[in-house]
Structure 1
């Protein structure tokens, strides 16, 4: 079976960086959107998807306008819901509780928040529904890590080895099927 290019692009910098922004939405800065457009210019994509949160949708709309590709909104690509911690700075959260979460986000999710396995399940479902054409998904750091887990089998420690700053692009060669898989083709911060 022939593989296809899947590019995962983290949204550009928000107006208020440094917060745990899951369902909390924030406006992206103009420079952040421009950085995303620059990452997409030469990809030759046929499909463009965004999570629907403003910080990813705005970049997706700008990319779609620049490339002449219609934008599809798929909320399965949104960030992990941080529950009671959503929208807060890490310094405002109990240090021990936050440490337990980072060590094992499935066993120790944020209070009222989403488990890591739920994020992986929805991102995996979104991946399974992709048409095998060159695709760009404007998404979030957590969803990008969930895709790496699903497609490449990286464990939790390995996932944190990837630096995914705002407007970082992760390019994958993806093979669809009952159990989709991928090979990392590049990381472009």
Structure 2
């Protein structure tokens, strides 16, 4: 089996950057949408999926228009739910609590928020449901890191090392199966 190309694209810049935006949605900027469309050029995709949150769907709709593909919305590609921290600036969160979360997000989830393992489980299910054709998923930084964990078995420390700015494109070659795996073939900030 030759595998298939899976491109993960972080949504473009929101109108209010710098917030912990999990379930909290925010309007994307026009420049952010344009940056996503530019990243998607020439990928040769046959499948287009986006998180159901507007900051991803807006870019997905613009990309779909540009490449003449329908957009499928899938809530499993959402960001981690930050619970009580959702919508807050990082510097407004208790430093100790945030540090514990970064060190071990499964043992120390945000208050009222989602555990890392729950995010990983829903991303694994979303990946398993993808058709084995070249695909682009417009999603969030946390979901992209969860996909790297699922497909490449990266541990938490390695995942935080990835710089995934708004409109970053991560390209993988995925080999589906009972235990899917992938190889990173590119990262464009």
Provide the C-alpha distance between the structure 1 equivalents of 2:28 and 2:14, rounded to a whole number of angstroms.
4
1:89 equivalent to 2:89? Answer yes
* Residues matched between the structures, number: 189
Provide the C-alpha distance between the structure 2 equivalents of 1:181 and 1:69, rounded to a whole number of angstroms.
26
User: 2:77 matched to which residue of 1?
Assistant: 77
Deviation at 1:2, TM superposition (A): 2.1
Deviation at 1:184, TM superposition (A): 0.2
User: 2:116 matched to which residue of 1?
Assistant: 116
User: 1:142 matched to which residue of 2?
Assistant: 142
User: C-alpha offsets along residues 125-167 of structure 1, whole Å, 9 cap, x if unaligned?
Assistant: 0001110000000000000000000000000000011100000
SS at match of 1:132: coil
User: 2:56 matched to which residue of 1?
Assistant: 56
Deviation at 1:91, TM superposition (A): 1.1
SS at match of 1:146: helix
User: 1:179 matched to which residue of 2?
Assistant: 179
SS at match of 2:172: strand
Provide the C-alpha distance between the structure 2 equivalents of 1:121 and 1:111, rounded to a whole number of angstroms.
20
Map 1:143-182; keep pairs closer than 5 Å: 143-182=143-182
User: 2:39 matched to which residue of 1?
Assistant: 39
Moved over 2 A (4+): none
User: 1:29 matched to which residue of 2?
Assistant: 29
For normalisation by structure 2, the TM-score amounts to 0.99
Provide the C-alpha distance between the structure 1 equivalents of 2:183 and 2:36, rounded to a whole number of angstroms.
22
Provide the C-alpha distance between the structure 2 equivalents of 1:23 and 1:64, rounded to a whole number of angstroms.
24
Q: Kindly report the root-mean-square deviation, in angstroms, between the aligned alpha carbons of the 2 structures.
A: 0.4
Provide the C-alpha distance between the structure 2 equivalents of 1:71 and 1:15, rounded to a whole number of angstroms.
23
- Structure 2: segments with no counterpart, 5+ residues: none
User: 2:67 matched to which residue of 1?
Assistant: 67
